[in-house]
Amino acid sequence: MRNHQKHLFLLILILFPFFFNATTIPFELIDGKMIVSVNIKNAPHNFIFDTGAFTIISSELKDQLNEEKSKITFQGVDANNVRSNTEVFSTDDLRISDLKLKNINFSFADIGWMSSRACKKISGIFGANMMKGKMWRIDFKMKTINVFEKSQEQSNIIAAIPFSEENFTSVPKIYAKIRNQNIEFAFDTGSGMGFSVNQKVYDKIKDKDFLTFQGLLSQSISSIAKGQREVDLMEVEINNTKLGNQIIDNSSDSPNLIGIRFIENYMVDLDFINKKIILTKTIKAPEYQSFGVAFAPIDNNLVIVNKLEISQLSGLQLTDKIIKINNMNVSKIDMESFCEVKKLLDQSQSITIENESHKTFTLDKKNVLQYLKL
């Protein structure tokens, strides 16, 4: 019996690091953004977990992090391909869960617009440069990120994808093949779409059957993109592994991005130790749930700012003012009431809207990919 106990004790000692070396970070998924809590001097702040970005902290927190200014000036390129120069600072005052982060480079920026979109105070972007030297396991089913100091073995691997790191930002870059085109992408948890490619690339892979969205397309640190987005399903191959049909869209002159509409369908190990992305456990098939229109508050009015161009929505136009959603009066709206609208939209599968001409429309939330002729 004592020998059995001794062997059991030794086994526990051997296995102890594998059971207890992970830091678990819960996240919320809001508007296609992963929101995590970061502590700054024991005060919690909401950050966007963004593998496609350099770390950004709200200008409101300047002089609260014992930050040291470096001699580096960082030229950033946002999701709309707009460049901007920012000063770089460093700090040791960031902690996420029980993980204390040292010597983190970052820039200050005005990011107030992020809070209005999330209906939650956002204080920063947890960028790829904060992830170096560790493995980050993203579980969309449990809404957790587990952080390991060492690479972990996985079973049922669907794809093992080597990546390179962008200079200075550490943003992971991979290659994917779509319709015989080998395309470089940034692996970007800050993007709400699937595979987004610039117009030049899209023109090489497009066919005659796609969905078209008009209006406000995206907003990022330095810019807003408006115009037309085309969305399609195409077969994607990464590192000689065929991943089936995935959501592809064009995004003006933006960098090519792999975003949440793809990433959330898998268990993902983002291994900055061995420079690999491991995909396991297909959680669900690609889908694009939408009412076909999107709203935003403009001059205290609720306005249609984005619309899917299909015959079923022909009675609605961009810039239409909405005065009622179901039984909610939205003829005058501020950010607080807009957050109530967003909550209603998130929780509803069907809505009835009324425009200022008192015409009513009933809209069902559905996977709009069904309009493609597959």
Q: Quick: pLDDT tens for 68-112.
A: 998 877 765 554 555 667 899 999 999 999 999 999 999 999 998
CATH architecture of 154-280: Beta Barrel (2.40)
Residue extents of the structural domains in the chain: 22-138, 154-280, 291-367
Question: Backbone phi, then psi, for 117, in 5-degree steps?
Answer: -75, -35
Cα–Cα distance for residue pair 344/342, rounded to 1 Å:
5
Dihedral of alpha carbons 258, 259, 264, 267, sign: positive
This prediction's pTM? 0.88
Cα–Cα distance for residue pair 190/291, rounded to 1 Å:
22
Cα–Cα distance for residue pair 149/136, rounded to 1 Å:
9
* Segment 126-173, tens digit of pLDDT: 999 999 999 999 999 999 999 999 999 888 899 999 999 999 999 999
Whether 154-280 and 291-367 share one fold: the answer is no
- Provide the greatest CA pair distance for the chain: 84
Classify domain 291-367 at the CATH class level.
mainly beta
Helix (H) or strand (E) holding 186: strand 181-187
Nearest 5°: the CA angle 144, 49, 58 is 135
Please identify every stretch of the chain with a pLDDT value under 50, giving residue numbers as ranges: 1-2, 4-20, 79, 219-224
CATH architecture of 22-138: Beta Barrel (2.40)
